[in-house]
Amino acid sequence: MDLSVYEITKSFGEKQVLNGISLEARAGEALGLLGRNGAGKTTLMRIIMGIFPPDSGRVLANGQPINRRSLNIGYLPEERGLYPKKKVTEQLLYFAALHGLSKKTALKNADALFEKLDAAAYKNARLETLSKGNQQKIQLIAALITDPDIVILDEPFSGLDPVNASLFKNIVKELIQNGKTVFFSSHQMNYVEEFCDNIAILNGGKIVLGGNIKKIKRSYPRNTLLIRCENPENLSLRLKDALGGIIESADAQNDAACITLVSEKDKKRLIETALSFESEIDEIKVMEPSLNEIFISYTEEQI
């Protein structure tokens, strides 16, 4: 199910939280919804879920006004919302019933998720007896028990150890492969880059950068190359001596020679020369900004 947001505005009192937000999330893809604390991400999520209405603008599903009775959204909030003293299965059935799911279907769906998340041992435990990571698993099961069309994940990897993070990764990848529309919000940019083709960065209630991550990165200068080899310091000096006119700077960084060209048009010449000097080159790649660096550059100053 494709979901579109058009010109959404929302204010609380005199504070405008969202100011003309437009974006599209497509079925079978994850959209990274990014921003600093207070940027408006949670407000936008709640409008998408229908928790409260926008002041203006529209949210459409497959190009049509949303039918809240039939739209199935799964939500994993950053601030967890389960009942600590209740047994796990008891409250999972409760949340499923709120969505109109039968007990039989809810138990079937829950069992499949328990298995995928290696959490079957906690079915009858009280939530408060579980570790933070295992509580997170139960929260994810609650979000997915209704087999939602749209899934909103707000900081899903917070507090997870590497093993549980791997289980969560498999679930997110499966959601995307199964054609779900996924909103993925996190400050852990490595996960955003792993799952999301497209991003929307919010700052001050506006989208300050949006689009395909690869295209965004390629829009930055591509005149710096990293050449990983056995002796990067020696290679840097030799390249600077041989190609001084086209090289802006050359130095060694850990196990790589870092070469910045005056013009990116000379990359082929640089690569050919490096290969003629050094036979044991492991990797040559263009230096791109990380998503973390891009995020900081667009949100360092809050609007």
Q: Indicate if the pLDDT at residue 279 is higher than 80.
A: no
Specify the pLDDT at position 275: 92
Q: Let me know: does 224 contact 286? Beta carbons within 8 Å.
A: yes
% of residues, the chain, pLDDT over 70: 99
Mean pLDDT, to the nearest integer, of 54-82? 89
Q: 185 - beta bridge partners?
A: 154
Specify the pLDDT at position 303: 62
293: confidence class by pLDDT, cuts 50, 70, 90: very high
pTM: 0.88
Place of tokens 């604390």: 37
Q: Indicate if the pLDDT at residue 86 is higher than 80.
A: yes
Specify the pLDDT at position 80: 77
Mean pLDDT, to the nearest integer, of 7-14? 94
193 or 159: whose pLDDT is higher?
A: 193
Burial 86-107 (b: 16+ CB within 10 A, else e): ebbbebbbebbeeeebeeeebb
Q: What is the Cα–Cα distance from 107 to 113, expressed in whole angstroms?
A: 10
Structure tokens at 110: 């829950």
Specify the pLDDT at position 54: 95
pLDDT digits (tens, 9 = 90+) for 212-235: 999 999 999 999 999 999 899 999
Per-chain mean pLDDT for the chain? 93
Q: What is the Cα–Cα distance from 207 to 19, expressed in whole angstroms?
A: 9
Determine how many CB atoms are found less than 10 A away from the CB of residue 157.
Answer: 17
- Integer angstrom CA distances of residue 238 from 30, 229, 232, 235: 45, 13, 10, 5
* List of domains in the chain: 3-217 (3.40.50.300), 221-286 (3.30.70.2810)
> Following CA atoms 77, 83, 84, 87 in sequence, which dihedral angle do they give, to the nearest 10 degrees?
-120
Structure tokens at 226: 């990293």
68: confidence class by pLDDT, cuts 50, 70, 90: confident
Mean pLDDT, to the nearest integer, of 80-90? 90
Specify the pLDDT at position 182: 96
Specify the pLDDT at position 274: 93
Determine how many CB atoms are found less than 10 A away from the CB of residue 84.
Answer: 12
Q: What is the Cα–Cα distance from 67 to 73, expressed in whole angstroms?
A: 12
